[in-house]
């Protein structure tokens, strides 16, 4: 995939007379930056029912025409290429600097006014002049480089934003045949990035900065989080190893509370880190201004109170009702998923613990198939279904949509990740022995004596070791195999295609111009188009999957590691590989993500806080239930377990309050920088305007001066401080003299 | 008190030759505005031990001198008057407009930069031009009136702020003999304000605006809160009346949950109201910039990262340790207070319920004396003690100090207000019957049969009816009596004083100048000085007392009203009087509060949220404990009570989450205005700078243009959108033609 961009001297001599000065530069291949975005325009091979072939063709044609004119009227350049697949056109879009700079200017002014940009002072001093110094108000832009990510973010806005906001209003939401819009990978950079990571243990701030500059803050924030979280795992890993070798009862409440404290401290510290990164990356406060969600539709159209434009409006109670009504929808889907997870679990328990009949060695591995095939498939259905629900909820803002969607995704992953553990802990172990008689009734062979906590440990170890290994395979090795096989298929496919194309063009007599354009395509361009085809064929990068994996893992460590204290160590090792795997994935196996800004990990933080709270429940209940002195079958046990849980919830809240209080006593780097920035800005403004004070507040001044005259009489003989002083001193003297 | 300012034609003829043009204006008395602040300079009558009379006198004299020079070097005018009491000097300070305007200018620029000022659009359209329109950056101030409150706030800053921040560094914290600094009442305005309130039921927004303009946002915020809270009480008042007449069991859980919901909804709505007021009063975001607490001391001095000045520094862990170490201090004080409250309660219960011996009719009223005298005295000690602790905690910011102090005050008032109710509910009623045998042992007469919930109801009714009535008396009637008697005492005292003064001056031969200055004092000035003396004698306005009263009352309604549903109605009636009483108090019985800004009610909100949470505990436990079917003496009852409590806590959290979610769906007026403001500002900036784009981002531009040349080859034949369109349409046509 990367060859086209980095390899080989191409013979451009044939066309050098056409482009006498610039043709040599493509000797090293065409860089990704010649094209800002690729718009995939895809239509059905066969028209939908009740539509004639011609009508559909002219509809597609018209839609394309409107698309083209929208792009052209925004000043964007585009060229159209046939896609690798049939019925697909690729629109390569480029934004000339003359057009981009207006948008950049608007964006920078906007950022300044809402307080996003503070001076970019990173430790290396790489950028030493902030906009405070550079007198923003005198119409000079803040001195910041335009990074690749920012450029792409702005161009994406220009393509997708409504016309009123300065965009071309082209997006999969508004245009029926627009399948997707994506930017091309910077292969050279990706290569050097991944190579450098393979040579070192830790990812540095500069590496994160590189990601931020090329893939945007949102992706960079994910890697920062993953890195930070992995480092933080060292603490429970060490604690876990100690606990593993010293504590007899692994369900120790003190170990549980220690994990709870770690979770709380870690989450608080991460929030500080987040704020620091937001300042460093110049995205602090940006989320204050909600971006409108493109799918939002209103019942009516009203005049916007702010901009005066006509905007869709939906009554708040309707929005609330929609949110309420999706709850049962999510609940049903979650229940369905729970049934599947529960079924797989039951089969697993049965085959592992009870079944000793024929093929039992072989059937032992059947449940893993459930985890690898059945459950992911069901999760896939769930994900699609909740996306429909989430769109129906009609969110006004991007942030609202994302929050709501994240919650729904989290529910599914929570069930898949934890449900069988909860069933084991709270149903199977306490009540499992009641099952034994029934097994006898059905005359099933078994050699089972007692249901103990080993089952719980085995379950957790399965998720930590087998689960994560399988996850790594499906995420990394399978795509690698795909990546190895696919190009060959592609090449074969393309050969057939290009043959066909020629025959097509022969038979249909495409107009001469097109043919000519094709003819002058240099070899470099061919290679470049191959890169484009390859990337069109890739899946989109899904940051939710990456986050949810880590958040669920955080749950294993914080909620369940009292079961098996080595959990954190295993996760730490897993993540050292994971971070590199994710880097390769985002560079090689998925399309380049559209750069977006992010000043935090958003809703995932809330999910992790929920898990930390949940850890107060599990640690207390495990500690009580699985004590050697607890009679697990006593009717009072459930009540005392609940009491223990609730008491520990209060402990959790107190710990959280103390940790928060203690941590906020230490000022953050971000706060200091922000204050520095504001201080400088203020000084600049005051200095600049100091001479013109007489002009200032003229109206207030004249009023005040008028009223000052009134006071003259009262103050006229008190203008000299010396005389006041003398009088006062005399009085003081006198008061000590008399008596 | 008000006469001097509003009354009477004074014969100024005698001095008219001295002030030919301006003397007539004082015919209506000298307005309060001739003096911005009165600094009370007070020294001990007798020098401290080990100090000679002369040494002390010269020390006082020197301190005064430094004080005077600090004021003078800041450009403030001052005159010195002898105070009504011995050993007191009154320094009347005035800030000339020429000095003030610099400070005003700085302050406005600062406000603009940190995003405090948004366009002041109030409904009446009284101010229709915001600073967005008035081009702040062109060195013109936002067109806002300078209100009395703002003027006084700025002058107070000029007197008290450190020299680096443009102040004179004069304050009770830095100057040993400075007792207090306060502004004078605007009597005329106060009079009309209170009169207008007596004529109407509801306090309007314009009334609040008036308070804001004259006493500052902090006081106005209190009145806004009181008004808003009183109106909100209508809901539980109606609910309570219905419950009182329909429900047999007053400890109904549904009524309890309804009250919980009301508490949560009310608190959320108030936060919206707060935000709206903050925008309307132009204080939004102001608290983002923490003001340094003047009492803060450091272990070392470090260079401030922001301003580059040398500032005191104290390591965070030391601060944390101090906070931790004050906890036992507060705990001991709280325990002491609890003992007193418990003792009064025990005496009360004994006298009311058991004692039938001699004088029992008379002794019946003894506990009230405990509540009126003993407990307030102990609270007074507590308050002084925690203030010492709070100062020792060494808070860096004003907000931090205030938060910490408020929490401590709240603890005391919580104990005084609720402890006896908790004892009754959770100790006396469940376990009270165990007491009866002991009474027989001590041979005490009693005619007591059973301990029931009537006792709890009686206790609550005592607080709601007797407590609030007594409170009103001590707050309103006692000061009125004082105000009636004090002036007479004062007059008598002053007569003695002025006699003495003359004899003093005769005997000590004050220098001629002072005498002369005294001679030319007009009668208007004498009256004015009488007003000053009166106000020096007043207590300072304590906003904590007012807030804590309301917050504790909120607790009675939300935490305890399942005991007696008419609570809310009684509180509603009380507050209709309270709001007027507080207005009179702040105008007549206390010194004028120094205007401060506030964008919220601050820590009190947190306290009310705590009380709302507490209501989940009481409503559940009362509902379970006092059900007719519950055997209160069963050993399982405590366990099930705790289960009920904890379950209801979860209900509370869910309710809170739902209410918050639902409420945030409706955009607030404040948000819209803020966005409007920012939109306008952005437009203004863009319009102003649109022509100068070529100047913008020159460096980025040249770089981008250079790289643009690179792209020429790829794009050179694709500049015409029409040809692209034709080619694409041909492709679409062909794909529907072939098969």
Mean pLDDT of A210-230: 93
Domain termination site, one of A160, A184, A208: A184
| Chain B CA closest to residue A114 | B678
Cβ of B738 within 8 Å of Cβ of A508? The answer is yes
pLDDT at A569 over 80: yes
Looking at residue B444, its pLDDT comes to 59
Looking at residue B16, its pLDDT comes to 35
What number is the ipTM of this complex? Answer: 0.73
pLDDT band, residue B161 (cuts 50/70/90): confident
Which of B25, B678, B723 comes nearest A113 by C-beta?
B678
Residues A290 and A225 in one domain: yes
Residues 143-162 of B with CB under 8 A from A: 143, 145-146
Residues A154 and A232 in one domain: no
Looking at residue B716, its pLDDT comes to 63
Which of B306, B696, B719 comes nearest A676 by C-beta?
B306
Nearest to B692 by CA among A139, A279, A168: A139
A129-143, A238-252, B93-107: lowest mean pLDDT where?
A129-143
Task: Please count the structural domains in chain A.
Answer: 3
Rounded to a whole number of angstroms, the distance from the CA of A317 to the nearest CA of chain B is: 8
Q: What is the pLDDT of residues B603-643, one digit of tens each?
A: 999 999 999 999 999 999 998 888 877 777 787 888 888 88
B-chain residues near A66 (CB < 8 A)? none
Domain termination site, one of A134, A162, A184: A184
Q: Is A335 on the interface with B (CB under 8 A)?
A: no
| Chain B CA closest to residue A649 | B646
Looking at residue A669, its pLDDT comes to 82
Looking at residue A235, its pLDDT comes to 95
Optimal mutation site among B690, B735, B739, interface A, most CBs of chain A within 10 A: B735
Mean pLDDT of A642-665: 90
Cβ of B712 within 8 Å of Cβ of A686? The answer is no
B-chain residues near A606 (CB < 8 A)? none
Cβ proximity of A203 and A227 under 8 Å: yes
Looking at residue B85, its pLDDT comes to 79
Token pair in block for residue B203? 């306090």
Composition of chain B by helix, strand, coil, percent to 5: 70, 5, 25
Residue B147 located in a structural domain:
yes
Residue A88 located in a structural domain:
yes
B-chain residues near A64 (CB < 8 A)? 725, 728-729, 732
Residues 345-374 of B with CB under 8 A from A: none
Residues 526-585 of B with CB under 8 A from A: none
B602: left (phi over 0), alpha (psi -120 to 50) or beta: left
Nearest to B436 by CA among B427, B422, B446: B446
Residues A514 and A593 in one domain: yes
Mean pLDDT of B241-265: 88
Looking at residue B388, its pLDDT comes to 92
Q: What is the pLDDT of residues B209-235, one digit of tens each?
A: 889 989 999 999 999 999 999 999 999
Sequence length of chain B is 739
Domain termination site, one of B152, B184, B216: B184
Looking at residue B686, its pLDDT comes to 67
Give CA–CA dist B739/B737, Å, rounded: 6
Q: What is the pLDDT of residues B423-449, one digit of tens each?
A: 988 888 888 777 666 666 666 555 555
Q: Is A181 helix (H, G, I), strand (E, B) or coil?
A: strand
Token pair in block for residue A63? 């839609």
Optimal mutation site among A651, A700, A708, interface B, most CBs of chain B within 10 A: A700
Mean pLDDT of A558-564: 92
pLDDT at B251 over 60: yes
pLDDT at A590 over 80: yes
More confident position, A363 or B578: B578
Q: What is the pLDDT of residues A170-208, one digit of tens each?
A: 988 888 889 999 999 988 888 888 888 888 888 888 889
The number of helices, as runs of H, and strands, as runs of E, in chain A is 28, 6
Residue A84 located in a structural domain:
yes
Cβ of B715 within 8 Å of Cβ of A115? The answer is no
Angle between helices A543-560 and A567-584 (to 10 degrees): 170
Residues A155 and A224 in one domain: no
Q: Is B296 on the interface with A (CB under 8 A)?
A: no
Mean pLDDT of A549-559: 94
Residues A646 and A531 in one domain: yes
pLDDT band, residue A109 (cuts 50/70/90): confident
How many other C-beta atoms are found inside a 10 Å radius of the C-beta of residue A176?
A: 12
Please name every residue paired with B78 in a beta bridge, in sequence order, or none if there are none: B93
Q: Parallel, antiparallel, or unpaired for β A37-42 and A88-94? A: antiparallel
Residues A574 and A461 in one domain: yes
Optimal mutation site among B43, B502, B665, B702, interface A, most CBs of chain A within 10 A: B665
Cβ of B724 within 8 Å of Cβ of A78? The answer is yes
Cβ of B113 within 8 Å of Cβ of A681? The answer is yes
Q: What is the pLDDT of residues B42-89, one digit of tens each?
A: 888 888 888 888 888 888 888 888 888 888 888 888 888 888 877 888
Rounded to a whole number of angstroms, the distance from the CA of B23 to the nearest CA of chain A is: 7
Please name every residue paired with B128 in a beta bridge, in sequence order, or none if there are none: none
Residues 34-73 of A with CB under 8 A from B: 34-35, 43, 45, 47, 53-54, 56-57, 60-61, 64-65, 68-69, 71-72
pLDDT band, residue A510 (cuts 50/70/90): very low
Residue A27 located in a structural domain:
no
Percent of chain A whose predicted confidence (pLDDT) is above 70: 78
A316-324 long-range contacts (CB < 8 A, ≥24 apart) are A316/B665, A316/B666, A319/A393, A319/A394, A319/A396, A319/B665, A320/B662, A320/B665, A322/A392, A322/A393, A322/A394, A323/A393, A323/A404, A323/B661
Give CA–CA dist A59/A55, Å, rounded: 6
Backbone angles phi, psi at A166, to 5 degrees: 90, 15
Looking at residue A10, its pLDDT comes to 32
Looking at residue A450, its pLDDT comes to 62
For the whole model, what pTM was predicted? 0.79
Which of A320, A695, A713 comes nearest B19 by C-beta?
A713
pLDDT at A267 over 90: yes
Q: What is the pLDDT of residues B129-148, one digit of tens each?
A: 333 333 333 333 334 568 88
Residue B620 located in a structural domain:
no
Residues 8-27 of B with CB under 8 A from A: 19, 22-23, 25-26
More confident position, A448 or A519: A448
Residue A633 neighbours by CB under 8 Å, 6+ apart: A430
Q: Could you tell me where the DSSP H helices lie in B629-668?
A: 637-664
A675-684, B160-169, B420-429, B584-593: lowest mean pLDDT where?
A675-684
The mean pLDDT value of chain B amounts to: 78
Backbone angles phi, psi at A179, to 5 degrees: -85, -45
Residue A307 located in a structural domain:
no
Mean pLDDT of A161-171: 84
The number of helices, as runs of H, and strands, as runs of E, in chain B is 28, 6
Residues A634 and A500 in one domain: yes
Q: Which range of residues forms the domain containing residue A99?
A: 34-184
Q: What is the pLDDT of residues B461-507, one digit of tens each?
A: 888 888 888 888 877 777 777 767 766 776 676 655 544 444 444 43
Looking at residue B288, its pLDDT comes to 72
Residues A150 and A55 in one domain: yes
pLDDT at A128 over 70: no
Q: Is B79 on the interface with A (CB under 8 A)?
A: yes
Looking at residue B502, its pLDDT comes to 41
Token pair in block for residue A153? 């973010």
Residue B320 located in a structural domain:
no
Optimal mutation site among B38, B40, B80, interface A, most CBs of chain A within 10 A: B80
How many other C-beta atoms are found inside a 10 Å radius of the C-beta of residue B456?
A: 23
Residue B615 located in a structural domain:
no
The mean pLDDT value of chain A amounts to: 78
Which of B71, B104, B140 comes nearest A695 by C-beta?
B140
Q: Is A512 on the interface with B (CB under 8 A)?
A: no
B-chain residues near A665 (CB < 8 A)? 316, 319-320
Q: Per-residue DSSP letters for A474-529?
A: IIIIHHHHHHHHHHHHHHHHHHHHHHHHHHHHHHHT--HHHHHHHHT--HHHHHHH
More confident position, A45 or B709: A45
> How many A-B residue pairs are in contact by the CB < 8 A criterion?
328
Cβ of A78 within 8 Å of Cβ of B718? The answer is yes
Looking at residue B713, its pLDDT comes to 60
Residues A667 and A722 in one domain: no
pLDDT band, residue A320 (cuts 50/70/90): confident
Cβ proximity of A509 and B709 under 8 Å: no
Looking at residue B5, its pLDDT comes to 35
């Amino acid at each position: 995939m990367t060859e086209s961009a980095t390899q080989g001297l191409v013979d451009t001599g044939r066309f050098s007379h056409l482009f006498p000065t610039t043709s040599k530069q493509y000797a090293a291949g065409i860089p990704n930056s010649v094209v800002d975005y690729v718009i995939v325009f895809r239509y059905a091979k066969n028209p939908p029912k009740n539509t004639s072939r011609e009508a559909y063709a002219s509809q597609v044609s018209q839609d394309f025409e409107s698309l083209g004119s929208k792009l052209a009227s925004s000043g964007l350049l585009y060229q159209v290429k046939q896609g690798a697949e049939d019925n697909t056109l690729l629109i390569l879009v480029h934004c000339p600097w003359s057009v981009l700079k207006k948008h950049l200017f608007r964006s920078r002014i906007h950022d300044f006014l809402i307080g996003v940009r503070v001076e970019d002072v990173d430790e290396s001093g790489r950028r030493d002049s902030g906009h405070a110094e550079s007198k923003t108000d005198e119409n000079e832009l803040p001195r910041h480089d335009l990074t690749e990510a920012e450029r792409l973010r702005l161009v994406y806005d220009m393509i997708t934003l409504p016309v009123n906001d300065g965009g071309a209003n082209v997006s999969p939401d508004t245009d029926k045949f627009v399948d997707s819009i994506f930017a091309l990978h910077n292969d050279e950079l990706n290569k050097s990035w991944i190579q450098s990571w393979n040579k070192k243990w830790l990812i540095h701030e500069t590496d994160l900065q590189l990601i931020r500059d090329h893939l945007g803050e949102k992706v960079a924030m994910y890697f920062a989080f993953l890195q930070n979280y992995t480092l933080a795992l060292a603490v429970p890993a060490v604690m876990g190893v100690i606990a593993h070798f010293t504590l007899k009862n692994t369900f120790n409440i003190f170990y549980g509370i220690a994990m709870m404290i770690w979770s709380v401290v870690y989450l608080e510290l991460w929030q500080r880190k987040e704020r620091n990164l937001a300042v460093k990356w110049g995205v602090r406060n940006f989320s204050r201004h909600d971006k409108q969600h493109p799918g939002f539709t209103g019942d009516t159209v009203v005049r916007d109170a702010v901009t005066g434009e006509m905007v869709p409006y939906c009554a708040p109670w309707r929005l609330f009702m929609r949110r309420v009504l999706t709850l049962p929808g999510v609940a049903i889907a979650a229940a369905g998923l729970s049934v599947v997870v529960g079924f797989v679990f039951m089969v697993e328990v049965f085959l592992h613990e009870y079944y000793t009949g024929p093929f039992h060695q072989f059937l032992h591995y059947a449940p893993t198939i459930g985890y690898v095939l059945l459950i992911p498939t069901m999760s896939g259905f769930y994900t699609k279904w909740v996306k429909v629900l989430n769109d129906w909820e009609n969110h006004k803002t991007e942030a609202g949509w994302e929050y709501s969607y994240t919650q729904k995704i989290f529910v599914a992953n929570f069930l898949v990740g934890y449900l069988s553990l909860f069933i084991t802990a709270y149903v199977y172990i306490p009540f499992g022995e009641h099952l034994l008689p029934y097994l006898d009734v059905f005359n099933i062979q078994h050699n089972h004596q007692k249901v103990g906590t080993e089952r719980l440990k085995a379950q957790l170890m399965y998720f930590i070791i087998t689960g994560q290994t399988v996850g790594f395979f499906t995420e990394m090795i399978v795509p690698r195999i795909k990546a190895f096989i696919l190009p060959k298929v592609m090449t074969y496919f393309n050969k057939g295609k290009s043959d066909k194309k020629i025959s097509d063009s022969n038979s249909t007599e495409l107009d001469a111009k097109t043919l000519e354009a094709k003819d002058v395509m240099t070899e470099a361009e061919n290679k470049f188009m191959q890169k484009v085809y390859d990337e069109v064929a890739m899946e989109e990068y899904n940051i939710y999957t990456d986050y949810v994996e880590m958040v669920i893992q955080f749950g294993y460590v914080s909620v369940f590691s009292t079961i098996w204290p080595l959990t954190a160590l295993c996760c730490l090792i897993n993540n050292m590989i994971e971070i590199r795997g994710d880097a390769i994935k985002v560079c090689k196996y998925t399309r380049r993500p559209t750069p977006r800004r992010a000043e935090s990990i958003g809703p995932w933080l809330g999910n992790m806080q929920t898990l930390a709270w949940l850890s107060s429940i599990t640690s207390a209940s495990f500690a009580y239930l699985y004590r050697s002195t607890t009679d697990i079958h006593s009717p009072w046990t459930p009540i005392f377990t609940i009491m223990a849980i609730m008491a520990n919830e209060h402990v959790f809240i107190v710990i959280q309050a103390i940790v928060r209080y203690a941590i906020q006593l230490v000022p953050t780097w971000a706060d200091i920088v922000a204050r520095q920035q504001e201080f400088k800005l203020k000084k600049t403004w005051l200095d600049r305007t100091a001479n013109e004070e007489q002009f200032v507040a003229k109206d207030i001044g004249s009023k005040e001066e008028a009223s000052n005259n009134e006071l003259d009489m009262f103050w006229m003989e008190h203008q000299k401080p010396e005389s006041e002083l003398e009088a006062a001193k005399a009085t003081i003297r006198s008061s000590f003299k008399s008596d």
